[in-house]
Amino acid sequence: MAQISLTFPDGNSREFDAGVTPGEVAASISKSLQKKAISATVDGAHWDLQWPIDSDASIAIHTMQDDAQALELIRHDLAHIMARAVQEIWPDVKVTIGPVIENGWYYDFDRTEPFTPEDLGAIEKKMREIIAARDPVKTEVWDRDRAIAHYEASGENYKVELVQAIPDDGQPIRMYWHGDWQDLCRGPHLQHTGQVPADAFKLMSVAGAYWRGDSSRPMLQRIYGVAFKNRDDLKAHLHMLEEAAKRDHRKLGREMDLFHMQEEAPGQVFWHPNGWSIYTTLQDYMRRMQTRGGYVEVNTPQVVDRKLWEASGHWEKYQENMFIVEVDEEHAREKAINALKPMNCPCHVQVFNQGLKSYRDLPLRMAEFGACNRYEPSGALHGIMRVRGFTQDDAHIFCEEGQIESETKRFIEFLSKVYGDLGFDSFKVKFSDRPDVRAGADDVWDRAEHALQSATEAAGWSFELNPGEGAFYGPKLEFVLTDAIGRDWQCGTLQVDFVLPERLDATYIGKDGAKHRPVMLHRAVLGSFERFIGILIEEHAGKLPFWLAPRQVVVASITSDADDYVNEVVETLRAKGIRAEADTRNEKINYKVREHSVGKVPVILAIGNREVEERTVSVRRLGENRTETKSLDEIAADLTLEATAPDLR
């Protein structure tokens, strides 16, 4: 029999018979590894222990200690186990597909009756019975005709269609059995159902889903599940979901009266006074920070002729995300075609191109709170986190190639200060290199990627590679925040662009008296105000830092005799720049406290007859069950300091 060479992670190689399986390789190493093995990586591909290896390859054997592989297999096997459980309870149900997704899986079913919460409980019970049975998992490779005949005989018409859609190019058609239940699947899978942890999964919800995503095809029922390696990880995830529901910015937006969305303006935000207060306070802070950082602020048009977007490359690479505006210009033979700007960069180059620029003018840091519009599918819209109309804290740094390193370091320091002021003390950096669809020659991309990578390392930052996720005009750094419940949010970016200055003919006069192309660094810290405010609301569960809170203080009367003093306290605080309001309604103080606590007012000052006589206030802070008494002058001084933005302290 032919021999093949398998190379292990330690660099050592061994000879095996061609057709050896990873399970047999594990057994040849030790009985212990044979028992613990769950899958393998063969030449970079995740491999079932039962699949034969026919040629020389690298190999790594995985156990349950390898989180990525273990979780993929656990979730994939649970999708099959769930489908088996459903068909054991309701034999007439038809199965379709069940892929692994983030944190779990889903499976789509064709069933006449809708699944109920009680049904999910019955399915979970049956799944645990299947896991306890420790049924073996087997796999075979079938030819197309045999697979189609099998599914036609069993009445599984969806599986017939899936087999027919598999390219007839020698790609294997794999069949898997979990016990006696069979499914079409690419694999890999665990070796028996008992390897799935029975206490670390949960069925979460049911949703409708069209077959193959086509609204003209049957509506199926999709059951979602989550799964982890152990019960503690599952409990932590479920707790995170509970926290996320409590922190949902849409729910808090209603309770705090911040904004609303409506059908007549999909993906656009209607800011209420409270929400706009957060917005403008944050914008004022960013404007001061950018001024100190050496930025000049500009403002550019919302509607721009397609000619500019064609010249910049956006018309070719980004048109599907743009809102097109056609105008019947007077005396024109054809309609003028314009677009709402989806980004600010081409317009900033137009500002740069006005007048002659010298190397002495560089770096030129040009900022704009630029209102942009991008088409997002309606199904992707999500509160103020994913919208069609938004404002970026956008800026472009025009510099010489030799200034990329210093400007990168300067920007990361700037971004670190802003994030720290806003309560995020750490962040991760991702490096995104060239995408498949891009503008510019490969040698230009080589220079841009090398320059950004070297600059990041020189600035003292390590990064995670994010392959193929760069902008179409250049590589980028992505700055990722982690919130209070462990979720990651990509916010800031820095992109190196050699392409756009070339396409839009931006030049400066160098020391040698000749014209040169500037490098354009695209950068944002918050990303968009809308999304970042949503992140802040969820990070703080609505309990925003005092300086950002839209309603900072409510002064509430305990008795109507205190109304005059309540108004005096409000005026005193407002004179010091504190957002204070009076509540002199004829309601009990406990009712007022509850109502304003739901509205996330940070400080409630209660005033009764004693406070009037002593010219004091009773101070109650959000989330605290105690109160303290302070003089009016004392509380005014305390709150004035708290109301001061971090950059002004």
Q: How many other CB atoms sit within 10 Å of the CB of residue 286?
A: 20
Q: Which two tokens stand for residue 41?
A: 């990586």
Domain 3-58 is found in CATH 1.10.150.120:
no
Torsion of CA 560, 565, 570, 571, to 10 degrees: 130
Tell me how many degrees the CA angle 195-88-158 measures, rounded to the nearest 5.
95
Residues 6+ apart with CB under 8 A from 340: 302, 303, 322, 323, 325, 372, 373
DSSP H stretches of helix in 95-181: 117-133, 144-154, 157-165
pLDDT in tens, 577-636: 999 999 999 999 999 999 999 999 999 999 999 999 999 999 999 988 899 999 999 999
Confidence (pLDDT) at 317: 81
Confidence (pLDDT) at 505: 96
In the predicted model, what is the mean pLDDT of residues 171-183? 91
552 is catalytic: no
Residue 79 reports pLDDT greater than 90: yes
Tell me which DSSP letter residue 269 carries: -
Residue whose token pair is 């030819």: 143
Confidence grade of residue 124 (pLDDT, cut at 50, 70, 90): very high
Nearest to 642 by CA among 606, 611, 602: 602
pLDDT in tens, 368-396: 999 999 999 888 899 999 999 999 999 99
Q: Which two tokens stand for residue 126?
A: 């049956």
Which residue of the set 476, 516, 523, 596 is catalytic?
Answer: 476
184-188, 440-444, 640-644: which has the minimum mean pLDDT? 440-444
pLDDT in tens, 544-571: 999 999 999 999 999 999 999 999 999 9
Residue 332 reports pLDDT greater than 90: no
Confidence (pLDDT) at 215: 85
Segment of 389-403, 429-443, 474-488 carrying the highest mean pLDDT: 389-403
Confidence (pLDDT) at 440: 77
Integer angstrom CA distances of residue 446 from 226, 452, 466, 497, 501: 41, 10, 16, 12, 17
Angle in degrees, 0-180, between the axes of helices 442-458 and 404-421, rounded to the nearest 10: 60
pLDDT in tens, 508-537: 999 999 999 999 999 999 999 999 999 999
Q: Domain coordinates of the chain in residue numbers?
A: 3-58, 68-244, 260-534, 553-648
Residue 170 reports pLDDT greater than 80: no
Q: Which two tokens stand for residue 470?
A: 């760069």
Confidence (pLDDT) at 426: 85
Which residue of the set 396, 438, 523, 579 is catalytic?
Answer: 396
Confidence (pLDDT) at 55: 93
Q: Which two tokens stand for residue 360?
A: 């002495």
Reduce the DSSP state of residue 485 to 3 states and report it: coil
Reduce the DSSP state of residue 446 to 3 states and report it: helix
Tell me how many degrees the CA angle 492-495-500 measures, rounded to the nearest 5.
135
Residues in the chain, total:
649
How many CA atoms does the CB half-sphere of 436 hold within 13 Å? 0
214 is catalytic: no
- pTM equals 0.82
Confidence (pLDDT) at 331: 65
Residue 400 reports pLDDT greater than 80: yes
Which residue of the set 50, 182, 290, 392 is catalytic?
Answer: 392
Residue whose token pair is 């910015």: 249
CB 53 within 8 A of CB 19: yes
- CATH assignment of 260-534, given 3.40.50.720, 3.60.21.10, 3.30.930.10, 1.10.3720.10? 3.30.930.10
Residue 72 reports pLDDT greater than 70: yes
What span, in angstroms and rounded, lies between the C-alpha atoms of 267 and 340?
A: 15
What span, in angstroms and rounded, lies between the C-alpha atoms of 298 and 277?
A: 23
CB 552 within 8 A of CB 643: yes
In the predicted model, what is the mean pLDDT of residues 314-343? 84
Confidence grade of residue 313 (pLDDT, cut at 50, 70, 90): confident
CA 592 to chain centre: 37
Confidence (pLDDT) at 551: 97
Confidence (pLDDT) at 587: 95
Confidence (pLDDT) at 466: 87
Q: How many other CB atoms sit within 10 Å of the CB of residue 562?
A: 21
Residue 499 reports pLDDT greater than 70: yes
Q: Which percentage of the chain shows pLDDT scores above 90?
A: 80
pLDDT in tens, 221-278: 999 999 999 999 999 999 999 999 999 999 999 999 999 999 999 999 999 999 999 9
Integer angstrom CA distances of residue 199 from 76, 107, 128, 449, 501: 16, 20, 8, 46, 57
Residue whose token pair is 């830092």: 545
- Strands (E) located in 529-579: 553-557
Superfamily grouping for domain 68-244: Threonyl-trna Synthetase; Chain A, domain 2 (3.30.980.10)
394 is catalytic: yes
In the predicted model, what is the mean pLDDT of residues 465-494? 88
- Checking 454-460 for CB contacts under 8 A at 24+ apart, the result is 454/405, 455/404, 455/405, 455/407, 455/408, 455/409, 456/408, 456/412, 456/429, 456/431, 458/405, 458/408, 458/409, 459/405, 459/408, 459/409, 459/412, 460/409
Q: Which residues of 306-338 are buried (b: 16+ CB within 10 A; e: fewer)?
A: bebbeebbbbebbeeebeebeeeeeeeeeeeeb
Which residue of the set 374, 386, 430, 503 is catalytic?
Answer: 374
Confidence (pLDDT) at 330: 67
Confidence grade of residue 453 (pLDDT, cut at 50, 70, 90): confident
Domain spanning 553-648 has what CATH number? 3.40.50.800
In the predicted model, what is the mean pLDDT of residues 427-451? 86
345 is catalytic: yes
50 is catalytic: no
Which residue of the set 314, 522, 551, 596 is catalytic?
Answer: 522
Residue 465 reports pLDDT greater than 80: yes
CB 349 within 8 A of CB 473: no
Which residue of the set 77, 394, 483, 497 is catalytic?
Answer: 394
What span, in angstroms and rounded, lies between the C-alpha atoms of 238 and 226?
A: 9
What span, in angstroms and rounded, lies between the C-alpha atoms of 70 and 399?
A: 48
- Strands (E) located in 248-323: 259-260, 270-271, 295-297, 303-305
